[in-house]
Amino acid sequence: MMKNAFRLMSANPLPGSLLLIVLLLPLIASWGQFIESGFWQETISVTLLFWPKSAWKLAVPLPGWFIFAVFTLVYTLSMIRLAQKRSLVEAFLFILAGFLLAKAGGAAFQAISGWSKLQPIGSQELAGKANLLVFATWHNPLWEELVFRGIPLLLLALLYSRKEWPGYAKWLYLIVPSLLFACYHVPGHGLGTLFESFLIGVLWAFAALRWGLGAPIVLHIFADAMLVPTLPLMKNMPLHEIPWLVEYGWLFQSLSALCALLLAMSIPMLLFSGWRRAKRTQASEL
């Protein structure tokens, strides 16, 4: 019955429209920052292969406007695809609930193990890197999804192209890349994030199996890039490097808060309405 309630809720255009606005705000904020600062005209070293805190990496120089146009295209097309399948709201709610559980599990792991997270970077390390920080909120999640979810998904698709994937293959997909994903985050974030990162990796992998690779791409990028409008509030942030965000950040934050409030109000109401309709339909069929 709850499945039918979710289906009926997803058919309502209001939650999807509000969520699309929320998802698009970080994209607009990032473009505004890049255009105002002139970063879009620069040549950017785009990392293709690397390991955190390692001196080795494989990178290619690309025009800023080109690589960010690619990010925009992947993000918006994946978002539109999810919206067309009426899966956007369902995937968002699932990821949100999963994130809260992963954070709680991560906090418990830190308390039990005694391991902690690394401290955030200081003001001297941020100087001259504001645009790179914004760029990283798009590059890093997309890179992580392609490497840790996309490549394993492609391998499974090639191995089982003409038959249903066996259960053990799905479990391997959920666990093995997620372990690598967790280890990948240790150098930059500390051992305290190991379990939390593993749980989040499983969450992204499940989303890829359930709704396609576009779901973790969109929601992982959003989870990172949603911080872009709030950068003026970040401690030690060199504000002279982000004047556009300083001037308009409050607008993006206000719109996000308003849409989030409307979502928080509308979703329970629509779920309850859908549940009642599903219950009446079930009763009429008996």
**Neighbouring C-beta atoms of residue 171, cutoff 10 Å:** 10
This prediction's pTM: 0.92
How many CB atoms are located within 10 Å of the residue 228 CB?
A: 23
Task: Give the pLDDT score at 284.
Answer: 67
What's residue 184's pLDDT? 95
Asked if residue 219 lies in contact with residue 211, where contact means CB atoms within 8 angstroms, the answer is no
**pLDDT recorded at residue 13:** 84
A 10 A CB-CB count for 109 gives 18
Task: Give pLDDT < 50 ranges for the chain.
Answer: 123
**pLDDT of res. 121:** 58
Q: How far apart are CA 138 and CA 117, in angstroms?
A: 22
Give the list of residues 6+ apart from residue 238 with CB closer than 8 angstroms, or none. Answer: 123, 126, 127, 128, 130
Q: How far apart are CA 165 and CA 39, in angstroms?
A: 44
pLDDT at 103: 95
pLDDT mean across residues, the chain: 90
pLDDT, residue 211, reads 96
Tokens of residue 275, six digits: 């549940």
